[in-house]
Structures are given as C-alpha cells and as structure tokens.
C-alpha cells in the first residue's frame, strides 16, 4: 500500500504546533521530509507517528552576527569580470544560467502561493466547521426552549387545577403545601403523560397534602367534645397557658391512637388526657397558695430572705408528686423554711460584720496599694474568724487592732523610704571625697547617677526602717566602695 504523506499544515495540527515551526524543521532537515516539484514539504505518516511518540526536535539557529547569505561574486570596477574571450558558447551558458535562475525563482513563488492557498483553505474549512457547529447548537437550543415552554404550560395548568380543588374552609397556609406536593409530582415525571393519568396523580398529591389538616380537624372536634363533657375548672378555661396545656395533652393522647380510630375512641383518649392535666392544675394551685403565704411565716424577715424562703418552698413543692395531700404539702413547706429560719440570725450577723468592714478603705486612704490590700485582707480574716454571737463592739475592737498593727508597718515603710532617699543623696559627696585620693574614669556626678540604681535596690532590700541616719550613711559608703571595688 502506498505511503500517506501530510502537508505542513496537517502535520502541525497532528503534532499540536504551528505550521511555521514544522516548515522550519523541514527546511533545516531536522525531520524527515520530501519537497514536491512545487516547493511544498510533505511528511510521511510513519514519521508523524514517530514524532508524536518521541517529540519534536528544536529548530537549529544560526550563530549571532553571521551572514549566511552566499557571497556575491567579485565585481570589478567596470562590471562583471570575464574569465575568457566572449564567444557563442559563453553567451549560451550565461543565457542558460539566467533561465535556470528564473525557473528556480518561479518555483519558489509557486511554492509560497501553494502554502498561502493551503492556509486560506484550512481557515475556510475551520470557519465552515464552526458555522455548522453554531447552527446545530442553535437548533438544539431552540428545540430545548420549545420543550421547556411546553412543559411549563403543562405544569402551570395542572398546578392551577390542584389549587382550585382545595376545599373553601382549608387554611390558606395549606395552599403552599398543596402547591409544593403537586409541583413535586409533576416535576418527577420525565415525560408528559395523558391528562387522565396526570389528573389522578395531582388529586392524589392534593389528598396527601391535605391529610394533616383533615386529621387535625377531626382531632380538634374530639377535643372540643371532651372539654365540654368534662368539668374543667373555670380558671383553666380562661388561662391561656392552661388552656393550651389541655389542648396539647388531648392532642398527644389522640396522637397515640391507632390509625383509623373511631370518634368514641378519640373522645375517650381526650378525656383521659384532660383528667391528668386537671389534677396537675389542682396540685399547682395548692402549692401556689402555700408559696404565696410565705410572708406570714417570715414576718421578721427581710424581703430578700422572704424571696429565698419562697424559692426554697417552691423547690420543695416541685419535688412532690401530683396528688400529694394538703397536710403533706404543709410539712414539706415547714421543712424547707427551717434552714432559712436558722440562718436568719447568721445573715444578720454577717451583715453587721460587713458593715464594720465597709468603711475601712476610708481610714486607709493614702496608704501604699500593696499595704492597703494586706491590711484589708487581714482585717477581713480577723473579723470573719470571730465566733458566732460576737457583739458589734468586739468586732470593731478587733478591726482597730489589725489597723494599728499595719499602721506601724506603714510608718516603718515611710521612714525606710526617707532613709533610702537621704542615703542616696550621700553618694556624690562621698565620691567627691574619694576623688581626692582616687582617680575615676568618669566625673563624680555621672558616676553617682550610674551607682544610684544598684545602691537603691540594696538599701530597699537591707534596711528595716528603724536605723539611724548615721547607720544609713555608713552603709551607703560601704556599698559605694563595694561597687567601686575599693
């Protein structure tokens, strides 16, 4: 079978490169190619497959600053140099050379023409293919749009039918459920069925969406009958919360019935549920009466203590089961109030001690922050450590003793601070005196500033506050000599 050859444009598409690169590789003989009589390059399919597998080589480049054009023949100043005397043979050879040159130039022009025609033909083919693809896509788009419009009209018609089939007394909120159910059924159909099938499916969807409403309607009727036939206290009927509890309990009881229960079963279940709520209501009312009467049990208590007693009794009542007798409820109330009665005296005493400590910060105004906090903490510890029943006078006395003890500490701290400052003022005079016998690298003022921080830290650590000024001055001189290593 004859070998198949590709043009440079076809080879470029197969290899995924530009036509110019394929032509450059052919001209540089980097790939195997055949040149036609018209100057067109042709590449065999076998070599194309080889290039797909192994990859294209790089296009060779000329050396820079090199002229690769053939050197022109040397010319004399008077024209072309003659190699022999003019003759018919020489003239014929010259004419043949000119003809050959013209023929070669003509072949090159035809080759470039064919390459240009190939490029235009390929561009026209691509443009025609793109136009065909666009026309096909437009036809497909129009067909899809038409099918969508047909389906939209069909869905709108049956959704309107579903909404019109809703009973007049149905709550408006169920219209959304009916619309959603019918829409779900219609959208689940890939193809548009007949009107008969569609009607049956839409009616089924409407019945399914309205089933909760029909069920709730039946339950509401059963609850109404049960409440009317049971002697529900008037307070429950007028109280919104308890009325809601009644309805909720009855609905819960009816919800546990089997599917398809009759009206008698539903009314019986509602009555049983209502009875439990009424018993709970009566229990809550009895507990509320006991809680509201707390003020009579705590006449001497403060409003805060009454509130605490109320909370304690409410907690005790909440732990008793529904149906507990009145006498048992009262015993539970007394037991809940007993701790409060025992703690009332203790609370008053704690309040008295807190009052004693309330204005201690005013007496400590101007004290250092750390010492003030220590004094307050010590006073609180001493007052809180007193035995129960201590009189207010004794509590005041203990507080004053703590303050006086820390006042002595504060006085020593103040004196210590004065001693430290006076000692630091002795550094430079002492350095001036030492400078008479010793030579320093710095001036006495600069040296005194340099030593002041270290000596201050040493004095604050070592002084107690009860030293004399003479002792502090001696200590400062020792520290100066130590720092100067004298």
Most confident of 2-6, 41-45, 351-355, 376-380: 41-45
What integer pLDDT is reported at residue 278 of this predicted model? Answer: 81
Segment among 245-259, 409-423, 444-458 with least mean pLDDT: 245-259
pLDDT tens for 298-347 read 767 777 878 888 888 888 888 888 888 888 888 888 888 888 877 777 77
Q: What does 180-219 look like in DSSP terms, one character per residue? A: HHHHHHHHT-SS---HHHHHHHHHHHHHHHHHHHHHHHHH
Q: How confident is the model at residue 72 (pLDDT cuts 50, 70, 90)?
A: very low
What integer pLDDT is reported at residue 67 of this predicted model? Answer: 47
What integer pLDDT is reported at residue 75 of this predicted model? Answer: 38
Q: How confident is the model at residue 68 (pLDDT cuts 50, 70, 90)?
A: very low
Q: How far apart are CA 80 and CA 93, in angstroms?
A: 15
Q: Please say if the pLDDT value at position 224 is more than 80.
A: no
The mean pLDDT value for 253-277 works out to 75
Would you say the pTM of this structure is higher than 0.75?
no
pLDDT tens for 205-218 read 888 888 778 777 77
Spatial CA neighbour of 209 closest among 166, 145, 168, 250: 166
pLDDT tens for 77-108 read 334 444 455 555 655 666 677 778 777 878 88
Percent of the chain with pLDDT over 70: 90
Q: Count other Cβ atoms within 10 Å, centred on residue 28.
A: 13
What integer pLDDT is reported at residue 430 of this predicted model? Answer: 86
Q: How far apart are CA 237 and CA 17, in angstroms?
A: 90
Spatial CA neighbour of 188 closest among 149, 180, 150, 196: 180
What integer pLDDT is reported at residue 90 of this predicted model? Answer: 56
The mean pLDDT value for 350-358 works out to 81
The mean pLDDT value for 234-256 works out to 78
User: Are residues 182 and 162 in contact, defined by beta-carbon separation less than 8 angstroms?
Assistant: yes
Provide the mean pLDDT of the chain. 80
């Amino acid at each position: 079978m004859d070998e198949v050859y590709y043009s440079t444009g076809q080879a470029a598409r197969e290899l995924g490169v530009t036509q110019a690169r394929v032509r450059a590789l052919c001209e540089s003989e980097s790939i195997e190619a055949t040149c036609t009589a018209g100057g067109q390059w042709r590449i065999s399919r076998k070599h194309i497959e080889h290039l797909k597998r192994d990859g294209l080589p790089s296009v060779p480049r000329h050396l820079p600053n090199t002229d690769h054009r053939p050197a022109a023949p040397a010319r004399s100043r008077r024209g072309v140099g003659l190699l022999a005397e003019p003759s018919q043979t020489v003239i014929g050879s010259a004419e043949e050379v000119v003809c050959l040159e013209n023929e070669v130039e003509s072949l090159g022009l035809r080759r470039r023409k064919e390459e240009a025609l190939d490029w235009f033909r390929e561009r026209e083919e691509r443009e025609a293919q793109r136009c065909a693809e666009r026309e096909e896509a437009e036809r497909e788009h129009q067909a899809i749009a038409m099918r969508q419009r047909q389906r939209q009209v069909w869905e709108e018609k049956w959704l309107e039918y579903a909404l019109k089939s809703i009973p007049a007394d149905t709550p408006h909120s169920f219209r959304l459920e009916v619309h959603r159910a019918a829409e779900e059924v219609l959208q689940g159909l890939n193809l548009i069925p007949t009107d008969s099938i569609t009607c049956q499916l839409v009616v089924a969807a409407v019945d399914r969406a309205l089933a909760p409403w029909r069920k709730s309607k039946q339950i509401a009727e059963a609850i109404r009958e049960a409440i009317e036939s049971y002697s529900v206290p008037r307070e429950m009927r007028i109280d919104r919360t308890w009325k809601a509890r009644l309805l909720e309990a009855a609905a819960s009881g009816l919800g546990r019935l089997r599917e398809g229960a009759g009206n008698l079963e539903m009314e019986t279940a509602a009555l049983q549920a209502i009875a439990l709520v009424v018993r709970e209501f009566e229990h809550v009312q009895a507990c509320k009466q006991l809680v509201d009467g707390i003020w009579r049990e705590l006449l001497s208590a403060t409003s805060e203590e009454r509130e605490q007693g109320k909370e304690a009794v409410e907690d005790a009542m909440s732990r008793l089961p529904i149906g507990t007798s009145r006498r048992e409820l009262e015993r539970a109330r007394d037991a809940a109030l007993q701790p409060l009665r025992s703690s009332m005296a203790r609370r008053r005493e704690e309040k008295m001690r807190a009052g004693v400590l309330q204005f201690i910060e005013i007496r400590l105004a101007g004290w250092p922050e750390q010492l003030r906090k220590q004094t307050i903490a010590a006073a609180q510890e001493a007052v809180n450590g007193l035995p129960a029943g201590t009189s207010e006078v004794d509590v005041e006395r203990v507080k004053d003793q703590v303050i006086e003890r820390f006042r002595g500490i504060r006085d020593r701290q103040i004196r210590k601070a004065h001693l430290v400052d006076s000692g630091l003022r002795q550094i430079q005079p002492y350095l001036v005196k030492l400078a008479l016998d010793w030579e320093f690298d710095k001036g006495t003022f600069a040296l005194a500033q340099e030593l002041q921080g270290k000596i201050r830290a040493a004095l604050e650590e070592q002084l107690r506050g009860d030293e004399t000024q003479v002792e502090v001055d001696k200590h400062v001189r020792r520290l100066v000599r130590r720092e100067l290593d004298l």
